Amino acid sequence: MHTTYLRDLFNLHRSKVIFGILLLALTAHETHAQGIGYRRKHLEYYDDKPIHYGILFAVPFTRFNIKHSNDFIPKDSAYVIQSPTSAAFRMGFIVNAFLTDHFDLRTTPSVSLYDRNVKFNYPNGTEKTEKRESTWIEIPIMLKYKSLRRVNSRMYMLAGATLGLETNVKRSRGGSGSGRLDTKSSDVSLDFGVGYEQFFEFFKFSPELRFSQGLTNMYQPTKNSTGVGIQKMTTHTVTLYLNFE
């Protein structure tokens, strides 16, 4: 009886020890998890201000969407007319007005340096490229929808329209001997995009991807034969933005 009592006492003591070790392990794990889960909320009262300002840098990838005319086959000596995608540069500033917890009104006036080209391929193997190097002032008006903020980050979508004006207009006179392809100096486009906001201690950083589809026919008919096979040219641009507010 005495031996059995001692064995039972030992087993009870061992169970308490094991339980105590498990409890300490769970407590330590919970404390560690709470330490990892805590994140400081930067710019906590950011949305309390009605208007925010910022700057942007962007890399647009742009080209012309070309629609051929009825004279492309019978009158144009080129058998392929295309516009390859080219990279550009854009910089500007941001004005963002708070509307509701989910909607903002946003404009990003900017200056863009474009290099759009139209390439003609001929049956004899020769090529001709019409370069449209230009500087544009662009003024978009966008409606922005933003998700609820999760500590220091949130997603957003935006859509709107942009007015573009070319500033360094250089035109040919359109004579038969000029051989230049002319384009118009103003454009209107529909824009939509998606972005991600990350709040830091002193500023908010927002990478954004935006798509722009031009509505204006940029082709300017001339008296020369260049572009006789073109009926319509519209701009198409995909832009990566780096926004700082």
Beta strands in the chain (DSSP E): 51-68, 80-82, 86-87, 89-98, 103-107, 110-121, 127-146, 153-166, 182-183, 186-199, 204-214, 219-220, 230-244
Percent over 70 (pLDDT), the chain: 80
- What was the pLDDT predicted at 78? 84
Q: What 8-state DSSP symbol labels residue 120?
A: E
Q: Tell me the residue type at 152.
A: N
Q: Model-level pTM greater than 0.75?
A: yes
- What was the pLDDT predicted at 225? 72
Residue 34: band (very low, low, confident or very high) from pLDDT cuts 50, 70, 90:
very low
Q: Domain locations in the chain?
A: 1-38, 47-244
- Contact between residue 187 and residue 214 where contact means Cβ atoms under 8 Å apart: yes
CATH topology of domain 47-244: Porin (2.40.160)
